[in-house]
Structure 1
């Protein structure tokens, strides 16, 4: 059994990425999961001057320690104007100052969703293909859910589109199996 750290890239109290994350975490059965809220780790907007004058923020050091204590991560990234949110990117910027390889050896399941028909694919692709590999991550699986409101029922907290539900179940199963290897 591996330890998984889970969070979203959103600081919204009504985040659809948090709803997707919760849906997925209810499907993880073979591993121990700790879900956190990044908004509980308050950091200033990254600035060389802030780092020079005040050092690294304690919340970033605490978050790095949490990442170190887990073998894998499940992250649902949001999208603002075809890119990861400034909130999420800011956390990544500070973490990279704590340790340039803060994701080294970490296996990751990366997801995204949006109200639109692209499912935050631009943000997902940037994080998966450019941002996370730079810091040593191994993205094992990724999944994008388009048109969240049409494909997720808020009452039952389930995906309503069978094709997406089966696809996401496969992604979660493959991720869990990969952690056992």
Structure 2
């Protein structure tokens, strides 16, 4: 199984990238490709720009990466209760290729933050809207207080309760 994992964050020290990578590593016998959405940076979407220059190559490449995967793991960072601008822009451009951005793939949606909310607002928005974009959402999980629940050196969850929940969510891909 080929699993595509990424954080919906442009931070170079993204805790969501760490979570996505760790979660994807829990899928048995999977080949994991960890994307950095910074590699898909492009001008802010506008219909005028699309009419003038077409859909950027970066959006087309991202869409192909999703299409080539057997499953997708996304961990969402939350900016002011919503998606990061970097992810939203990438998603908006990609949706102009085909509204079925996720192409019917099984998707695990995660989120984390340093605080106790665990980015639940953005995770709720993502899981609620995902089916409209052809995502087969197999499960979702919010990890609150990331730095209290994740060992940065070992790159793994330390909370047995959260680990059990994450293992259960990730098992839906097997």
TM-score class normalised by the smaller sequence: over 0.9
Structural mapping, 1:46-61, within 5 Å: 46-61=45-60
Q: Secondary structure at the match of 2:17?
A: helix
Alignment of 1:106-121 (within 5 A): 106-121=105-120
Mark the runs of 5 or more structure 1 residues left unpaired by the alignment: none
Match of 1:143 in 2: 141
Q: State the partner residue of 1:164.
A: 162
Query: Which digits, 9 at most, give the CA deviation of each residue in 1:7-55, with x for residues without a partner?
Result: 1101001111011112212212232221111111121111111101100
**Structure 1 runs, 4 residues or longer, greater than 3 Å off:** none
TM-score (norm 2): 0.95
Aligned partners of 1:30 and 1:176 also within 8 Å: no
Number of matched pairs: 174
Query: 1:125: how far off?
Result: 0.6
Partner SS state of residue 13, structure 2: coil
Is contact 2:76–2:83 with CA below 8 Å preserved after alignment? yes
- Partners of 1:30 and 1:89 in 2: CA distance: 31
Match of 2:19 in 1: 20
Secondary structure (helix, strand or coil) at the match of 1:51 reads: helix
**What CA deviation, in whole Å up to 9, does each residue of 1:59-114 have, x standing for no partner?**
00111111111121111111001111111111110011011112231110110000
Mapping for residues 59-98 of structure 1, pairs under 5 Å: 59-98=58-97
SS in 2 for 1:52: helix
Calculate the aligned-residue CA RMSD, in Å: 1.2
TM-score (norm 1): 0.91
Instruction: Tell me if the contact between 2:6 and 2:37 (Cα under 8 Å) persists in the aligned partners.
Output: yes
Aligned match of 2:173 = 176
| Structure 2, unpaired ranges of 5+ | none
Q: Deviations over 1:128-161 (max 9, x none)?
A: 112x222111111111100001111112222121
Contact 1:73 1:109 in 2 (8 A): yes
Indicate conservation of the 8 Å contact 1:105/1:137, yes or no: yes
Q: Is the 2:6–2:21 contact (alpha carbons within 8 Å) kept by the matching residues of 1? A: no
Distance (Å, rounded) in 2 between the aligned partners of 1:84 and 1:49: 23
